[in-house]
Amino acid sequence: MEKTSQQHIKWENTRSVFRAIAAAEEGGVSRAQIAEQTGLSLMTIGKIADELDALGIVAQQKDERITAGRTARLISCVPDWHILVLDLTAVNFRLFILDLSLRVLDEITYPYDEMMFCDENLVMFFKNISMYRRTKIDIQFCIGAAVLLPGAYDAAADRIYGCRLPAFAPLRPKAVLHHLIPAPQIIYIEDVRAAAMSARLQGIEQKEDGSTLWLSLDHPVSGALLVDGRPLLGANNCAGRFGEVTVGTRFNLNEAMLSLTDQTERAAALAIALYNLIAVFDPAQILLESRIQVLDDEFMASVQARLQQMNHDRMLPLPQIRTAETELSAAVRGIAQAICETWLRRKCIKKTN
């Protein structure tokens, strides 16, 4: 029991040090800075850094900047290691190649051909990736790959249930992918679950005193009600389909985000959808993200004003609404972080044994 406890403490310390290194600006971070962030002693940090260096996970080099006293060593992640994340949650398929710091090294977008079936588009996308891999990716440095899906994945049947995109429902992603993209670890996962895996959604802490409503406004709109970092799924695997919330007599949120071009009208439609969701779920906070919709101060002020106007008579407790500003979605970041830490733990355990 004592040995297990010591191993757990060592792993937690290793993970804390690695996260500090991975989060550092380009150029690296010093041991003193890691100590400041983690509260660990310089001796513990030095020992962990040396072990990660020996495993080829991080590199240590002298700080060339002119400083008084002893020259510090800056620690950074070895740039060769990478993670592949394939996003199949929208009609334009995407591939992200990330380093250990979860920075985007490259991104490939496949323009969906409406004249072909979905599985044909998927084959073309994977063939493009396969060609790219042979020229740009050294597979021996790929620590894992993930496929984000717009619905719950049944591994035994290799199919997607509760798919938000009806055209994608017949897809058999594994049957196509495993022939074209060899990788040591491939995970097939619903984007909603992947988003909830992130300890922080896009760097925003989750509320501990209640649920968090996460919404991605990209088409189709997806999301989840998160409780203690876990998605609270609905019946019939329909989690994440918040784009179907009505925003008037004419259309739902999906249709509004797609067809409305005026920002004021879009803000009004989003406010109606949010108000309906608040009335049902009573979340402690709402997190919004989008790669295509501009969530600037003016847009969010318009959303907030409309919410206040609708709430004048009912007086519901309106939660704090925050936006996530990053080039990665919560789903991509969540699954990439999980792959990275699983790989790190295996490397450390192998070294110990």
Q: What domains sit in the chain, N to C, each tagged with a CATH number?
A: 2-77 (1.10.10.10), 82-196+330-343 (3.30.420.40), 204-323 (3.30.420.40)
Q: Identify the helix (H) or strand (E) that includes residue 308.
A: helix 297-310
What is the average per-residue pLDDT within 145-152? 90
Q: Are 214 and 226 in contact (CB under 8 A)?
A: yes
What is the average per-residue pLDDT within 258-262? 89
Beta bridge pairs of residue 98: 83, 104
d(CA 171, CA 275): 34
* pLDDT tens digits along 263-278: 999 999 999 999 999 9
Given a cut of 60, whether residue 312 has pLDDT beyond it is: yes
CB burial of residue 37 (10 Å; 0-12, 13-18, 19+): middle
Beta bridge pairs of residue 146: 85, 187
Least trusted range by pLDDT, from 182-186, 213-217, 263-267: 182-186
What is the average per-residue pLDDT within 114-121? 84
Q: Are 106 and 304 in contact (CB under 8 A)?
A: no
Tell me how long the chain is. 353
